[in-house]
Amino acid sequence: MDESEIAHNFGKLHARHAGILIRYLVECRRASDGDLDLFLIMATIGERTFNERYAPDAMSLEEFVGGTVGKIEPLPINAQSISDFTGIPRETVRRKIDTLLKKGWVKRDQKNYFTATDDVNHAFSRLTEITQKYLQDFTLSLSK
């Protein structure tokens, strides 16, 4: 679907997307013990750890779930960058990162950059299934 088709069908697409996105965000909140800020911080670190620039061109769901983030070169991110990007106050980011470190979901390097660990991939395995459903629903909504 090109830009003009999206513009022409925006109302219906927006309504479909909003419904799909809300259901997805509810699941993200559940996966993060009810803490959307924690999820958003984790997702930001995760996006830098498994980023589009270095992600393989082809990777199946099975390869993603069974793979390791250690095989992908991460892009650096620190607490200030997370705060600037998300709009979450730096002190809140710091506290949430402490929680993520304790859970083993992120690690900190000598430069105070954070990367996601394989533990978070396993902890969010149910959310990965939900992400697949979200992507299917969203893709289908574009073709309707």
Q: Give the span between the Cα atoms of 53 and 26, in whole angstroms.
A: 28
Q: Answer yes or no: are the C-beta atoms of 130 and 24 closer than 8 Å.
A: yes
Q: Which domain holds residue 64?
A: 3-143
Confidence tier at 111 by pLDDT (50, 70, 90): very high
CATH number, domain with residue 46: 1.10.10.10
pTM score: 0.83
What's the pLDDT at 69?
62
55/132: higher pLDDT: 132
**Which of 6, 24, 2, 15 shows the shortest CA–CA distance to 132?**
24
User: In total, how many domains does the chain have?
Assistant: 1
**For all residues of the chain together, what is the average pLDDT?**
87
- Cα separation of 97 and 87, whole Å? 15
SS3 content of the chain, % helix, strand, coil (to 5): 70, 5, 30
Residue 115 contacts residue 69 (beta carbons within 8 Å): yes
pLDDT, residue 70, reads 62
Region 132-140 average pLDDT: 80
Q: Which of 9-13, 32-36, 68-72 has the lowest mean pLDDT?
A: 68-72
